[in-house]
Chains A and B, each alone.
Chain A
Amino acid sequence: MAIQTILVINKSGGLVYQRDFIKTSAKLSSNEYLILAGTLQGVVAIASQVTPKALQISAKAGSKTANEPSQLIPYVGSLGAPTQNLSDMGSFMGQDFFNESFASWNQSGLKHVTTDQLSMFLYQTLTGLKFVAISTQSTTNAMAVSIAENLLRKAYCLYADYVMKNPFHDPDMPIKCELFDSHLAELVGQL
């Protein structure tokens, strides 16, 4: 699974980060990315509203039907763990940022979208922040979803370290932190 793009959307639906990892001919303009971010924000909300009535439809579209808070995302080991450089785990420690399965905060909202060419995965935090990964592979299988969730939670960990702990970053503003860039690139590169 190759990651083409990673986006970060703030809690009000504004695009604060966008980065391509594969050079593609069909690149969206920055304006189009902004629209994409806003659209996703809206679609997540709508998906969560239609859930009770349209369980089947939403399940087909990939959004998980919640009501099962115990639903866990399995930990996928050795995914993008910076094993070659353990000292560079930031404020984290050990082999990896986390090593246990975890619950998804996004239970009834949109979680992924698939076309014949690509899939898009969405990870939403309790604070309303959204991490989006666009993969070049069309897939809906459970393994791919777990990998994406793990990857995006790790991106969230990097965000906590290199964005939140940077005094020169203003909350809710576009992220311009080269350390976040480089660590994210490293993470994606290890997939």
Chain B
Amino acid sequence: MSANSANISASSAGSKKSLKTFSDDIWKNKTAKINAELFTLTYGSIVSQLCTDFERDFKKVNSHLSAMGYNIGVRLIEDFLARTALPRCDSFTQTSEVISKCAFKIFLNVTPQVGNWSSSKDTFSLFLDENPLSDFVELPMDAVKELWYSNILCGVLKGALEMVQMDCDVWFVSDVLRGDQNTEMRVKLNRIMKEEIPAGED
């Protein structure tokens, strides 16, 4: 998640496909799939184990989930790039499109809405209408105000973006599990780590 461009000149020989068509095709024809409930249950098992391990200190659980996500993100980005071969984004707006339409699509088969841009165009929100991590989940009452159940996603995005030289902060602002109207993640670009961009790119 990082790469690409809206004028996705790459990756589609000659024909200019939209990012959506491109991603749908990868999801449909190039990606092996597994039961989403096994995924949900496995994640649930991880979260509940953490809640026990940290004696229901949900702040610790949140940060641990984020750290786990980070470890995943730095690995997952390689899969994403190998699979899509998308070129580097020209702008953060493109990055947001790639994350929502491509990355979320080909890994989780959902497409969050992008919105709520800050005026400086360095922060946007992802609205998750569907979230395969939290299907079937009902937070226990002691967790409802503190636990960000899907916090692992923040870490994944942060880790993945960092590997393509974008230093970002990612956090949840609301979650339907906590009774909010929607599930919203914020992604803020701190800076592009130019010094770390591999030689050979322009």
Complex: A in contact with B (CB within 8 Å): yes
Q: How near does chain B come to A101, taking the closest CB pair, in angstroms?
A: 4
- Give the bracket for the number of chain B residues in contact with chain A: 20 to 34
Are the CB atoms of A98 and B200 closer together than 8 Å? no
B20 at the interface (CB under 8 A from A): no
- In the bound assembly, the distance between CA atoms of A152 and B18 in angstroms comes to 26
A105 touches B78 (CB 8 A): no
Contact with A157, one of B33, B83, B88, B200 (Cβ below 8 angstroms): B83
B13 is contacted by which of A74, A153, A161 (Cβ under 8 Å)? A74
Q: Write the B187-202 contact mask toward A (1 if CB under 8 angstroms, else 0).
A: 0000000001011111
Contacts of A90 in B (CB 8 A): 32
Per DSSP, are chain A's interface residues mostly helix, strand or loop, or mixed? loop
Q: Which residue of chain B has its CB nearest to the CB of A63?
A: B200
The CA of A156 and the CA of B81, in the complex, are separated in Å by 9
Q: How large is the interface on A (under 10, 10 to 19, 20 to 34, 35 or more residues)?
A: 35 or more
Which stretch, B4-12, B38-46, B167-175, touches the partner chain A?
A: B4-12
Q: Name the A residues within 8 Å of B202 (CB-CB).
A: 66-67, 69, 107-108
B9 and A69 form a contact (CB under 8 A): yes
Across the interface, do B88 and A160 meet the contact criterion of CB distance under 8 Å?
A: no
> Contact: B75 with A103, CB < 8 Å?
no
A91 and B79 contacting across the interface, CB-CB below 8 Å: yes
The answer to whether A109 has its CB under 8 Å from any CB of chain B is yes
Tell me which residues across on chain A come within 8 A of B164, comparing CB atoms.
126-127
Which partner residue on chain B sits nearest A49 by CB separation? Answer: B199
Q: Report how far A100 CA is from B3 CA in the complex, Å.
A: 17
Cβ–Cβ contact A102 & B85, under 8 A: yes
A30 to chain B, nearest CB (A): 25
1/0 per residue, CB under 8 A from A, across B65-90: the answer is 00000000011111101110111100
Q: In the complex the two chains form, is A93's CB within 8 Å of B198's CB?
A: no
Please, how many angstroms separate the alpha-carbon atoms of A89 and B10 in the complex? Answer: 24
Query: Is residue A1 within 8 Å, beta carbon to beta carbon, of the partner chain?
Result: no
A161 B79 Cβ-Cβ under 8 A: yes
A97 — which chain B residues lie within 8 A by C-beta?
30, 82-83
- 8 Å CB contact of B201 from A74, A108, A161: A108
Is B87 touching A105 in the complex (CB atoms < 8 A)?
yes
* Cβ-based interface call for A148 (8 A): no
Q: Which of A94, A103, A159 contacts B78 (CB 8 A)?
A: A159
For A89, A125, A165, which residue has the most chain B Cβ atoms within 10 angstroms? A125
Instruction: Return 6 A-B CB contacts under 8 Å, by A number.
Output: A98-B30, A102-B85, A124-B198, A126-B164, A160-B81, A165-B75
The 4 closest A-B pairs by CB, nearest first: A109-B200, A103-B10, A45-B199, A102-B85
Chain A positions near chain B (C-beta within 8 angstroms): 11, 44-45, 47-49, 66-67, 69-70, 72, 74-75, 89-94, 97-103, 105-110, 124-129, 153, 156-157, 159-161, 164-165, 171
Beyond A69-B87, A91-B31, A109-B198, 15 extra complex contacts between A and B, CB < 8 Å = A92-B30, A93-B31, A93-B32, A97-B30, A98-B83, A98-B85, A100-B12, A101-B13, A103-B10, A105-B200, A126-B88, A126-B201, A160-B81, A164-B75, A164-B76
